[in-house]
Amino acid sequence: MATLRLEVVTPDKTVINTDAEMVICPGVEGEFGVLPHHVSLLSALKIGSLRYRVEGQDKEIFISGGFVDVNNNICSVLAESAEHAHDIDTARAMAAKERAEERLARREEDLDEVRALIALQKATMRLQIAGGL
Amino acid sequence: MPSLKDVKMKIVGVGKTKQITKAMGMVASAKLRGAQSRIERFRPYASKYREVIGALAAKVDGVSHPLLTEHEEKKHCCIVLVTSDRGLCGGFNAAIIAEGLRLAGEARQQGMDVTFLCVGRKGRDAIRKSSYALGTTYGDSMGSVDFALASAVATEVIHKYEDMELDEVWLVYGEFVSMAKQPPASLRLLPLKAPAAESDPDSGPMCEYVYEPSEAKLLEDLLPRYVKVQVYSGLLDTAASEHAARMAAMDNATRNCDELINSLTLLYNKTRQASITSELIDIVGGAEALKG
């Protein structure tokens, strides 16, 4: 079966470097799939889950936004953080979620709403992916 | 001449100092390995960014992004000074601070007022004593450099640049060239200069690319991230350089201890001999007197 190279890179390490049959990316304008020999593409990604299929098995990974570059049958995803479902610290995500919700609920004057919303979104997404196992 | 006991004590003391410097050197070399591998792991990320932004910037010609445009009136300059938290690493921090102050002097001559943003305690302490204003500081952070720190620094300067509070931002750090060479380096963070597109013959013509959303939008999203990437690579370099510099400094110190112990041992033996000789003279003199 035709495959494409999937690389997921964060500032601290290369999280994934494998041959995949299909990749589904959370693009800012909606999810899209990348199959082998996809046309060259550059897209921004939002916080969400990146799904990919290796040897018929579907896998899922959390990414905190970034961008994807597809070129020459190589799909490279650059994200500030990327975590496999089993690597997600659920307790921490839960705490982060509660913190963000509390900040949003209290509506203090110096509230940085955008940041709180992003934190909430990240935490919710992490929990969702970790729970989906 | 010092007494035998004094010399003996001194030898023991220098020996203990040597143990400490040797241990510090070994710790530094272990930490250096860690820091170096982090640079290695960061490299693919950074180079991909440069590649993509170079290609994008070449494509979106004459784009006017707030981070790319030079402000007409230059009044405020910010220097992000990255140093280590701890000393005992030779002239490493002093060289970085000197480079920062040199840049600040130049900016002042051009009529700009200068604020320092310091990462690392050594730089902060030095700037506090200088005539320049000290902005936000991030102390005690070089032990655990992470992307969040780079992100915080970059976000702060980006916001201020966009709000016209700053007109120029420089990054001064210790570049990690090799184990023996860590020169201070400076880099203009803002206004941003897009990296030149590397023409890669294998990648084929660039015009086939599909962009989502538009090129200009993408660039808007990527440029602030690119600033973070640059800050992070400066932080990682400084961390590695610090350990390399400390290793060299501790190596030197250990060698000096050896030399000192050698010369002190020589002195000890001389003193011992002198005292034996004088005792012998006493005994011989006494015996002669008794015979008399």
Tens of pLDDT, residue by residue over A52-63, are 999 888 988 999
Q: Does A13 touch chain B (CB under 8 A)?
A: yes
**Given an 8 Å threshold on Cβ–Cβ distance, is B212 in contact with A42?**
yes
Q: What does the pLDDT average to over B66-93?
A: 88
* Residue B204: predicted pLDDT: 47
**Whether pLDDT at B62 is above 70:** no
From chain B, pick out residues whose CB is under 8 angstroms from the CB of A78. Answer: 45, 48-49
**Whether pLDDT at B225 is above 80:** yes
Query: Which residue in the set B45, B150, B209 is minimally distant from A42, CB to CB?
Result: B209
pLDDT band at B197 (very low <50, low <70, confident <90, very high): low
Q: What does the pLDDT average to over B211-223?
A: 83
* Residue A51: predicted pLDDT: 92
From chain A, pick out residues whose CB is under 8 angstroms from the CB of B210. Answer: 39-42
**Local structure of A103: helix, strand or coil:** helix
Q: Which two tokens stand for residue A126?
A: 């992490």
pLDDT band at B56 (very low <50, low <70, confident <90, very high): confident
State the nearest Cα–Cα gap between B137 and chain A, in angstroms: 21
State the nearest Cα–Cα gap between A115 and chain B, in angstroms: 12
Q: Does B232 touch chain A (CB under 8 A)?
A: yes
Half-sphere exposure of B117 (CA within 13 A, CB side): 23
* Residue B210: predicted pLDDT: 84
* Residue B28: predicted pLDDT: 94
Cα(B232)–Cα(A11) distance, integer angstroms: 9
Q: Homologous superfamily of A89-131 in CATH?
A: ATP synthase delta/epsilon subunit, C-terminal domain (1.20.5.440)
**Given an 8 Å threshold on Cβ–Cβ distance, is B221 in contact with A71?**
no
Q: Does B155 touch chain A (CB under 8 A)?
A: no
Report the residue of chain B nearest A14, measured CA to CA: B41
Contact between B8 and B272 under an 8 Å Cβ cutoff? The reply is no
Report the residue of chain B nearest A78, measured CA to CA: B45
Q: Which fold has domain A4-85?
A: ATP Synthase; domain 1 (2.60.15)
**Whether pLDDT at B90 is above 50:** yes
**Whether pLDDT at B134 is above 60:** yes
Flag the least confident range among B66-80, B155-169, B262-276.
B66-80
Tens of pLDDT, residue by residue over B27-41, are 999 999 999 999 999
Q: Counting one residue from A and one from B, how many pairs have CB atoms under 8 Å apart?
A: 74
Q: What does the pLDDT average to over B172-188?
A: 91
| Most confident of the following: A11-25, B12-26, B123-137, B217-231 | B12-26
**Given an 8 Å threshold on Cβ–Cβ distance, is B212 in contact with A44?**
yes
Top pLDDT among B72 and A47 is at A47
**Given an 8 Å threshold on Cβ–Cβ distance, is A12 in contact with B42?**
yes
Q: What does the pLDDT average to over A68-83?
A: 90
Q: Does B211 touch chain A (CB under 8 A)?
A: yes
Contacts of A43 (CB under 8 A, 6+ apart): A25, A27, A28, A29, A32, A67, A68, B211, B212, B213, B218
**Given an 8 Å threshold on Cβ–Cβ distance, is B212 in contact with A27?**
yes
**Whether pLDDT at B193 is above 90:** no
State the nearest Cα–Cα gap between A113 and chain B, in angstroms: 16
Burial of A12 (0-12, 13-18, 19+ CB in 10 A): middle
**Whether pLDDT at A109 is above 80:** no
Query: Which residue in the set B206, B208, B213 is minimally distant from A39, CB to CB?
Result: B208
Cβ neighbours around A14 below 10 Å, total: 14
Q: Does A29 touch chain B (CB under 8 A)?
A: yes
Domain ranges of chain A: 4-85, 89-131
Cα(B194)–Cα(B111) distance, integer angstroms: 26
From chain B, pick out residues whose CB is under 8 angstroms from the CB of A114. Answer: none
* Residue B242: predicted pLDDT: 93
| H helix intervals, A1-133 | 90-106, 113-131
Quote the mean pLDDT of chain B: 88
Cα(B239)–Cα(B237) distance, integer angstroms: 5
**Given an 8 Å threshold on Cβ–Cβ distance, is A42 in contact with B202?**
no
Query: Which residue in the set B42, B45, B221 is minimally distant from A44, CB to CB?
Result: B221
pLDDT band at A131 (very low <50, low <70, confident <90, very high): confident
State the nearest Cα–Cα gap between B59 and chain A, in angstroms: 13
* Residue A133: predicted pLDDT: 47
**Whether pLDDT at B207 is above 60:** no
Q: What does the pLDDT average to over B245-270?
A: 95
**Whether pLDDT at B165 is above 70:** yes
**Whether pLDDT at B198 is above 70:** no
State the nearest Cα–Cα gap between B43 and chain A, in angstroms: 8
Q: How far is CA B163 from CA A83, B67, B157, B158, in A?
A: 35, 11, 10, 9
CATH 3.40.1380.10 fits B28-247, yes or no: yes
From chain B, pick out residues whose CB is under 8 angstroms from the CB of A11. Answer: 42, 45, 147, 150, 229, 232
* Residue B212: predicted pLDDT: 80
pLDDT band at B61 (very low <50, low <70, confident <90, very high): low
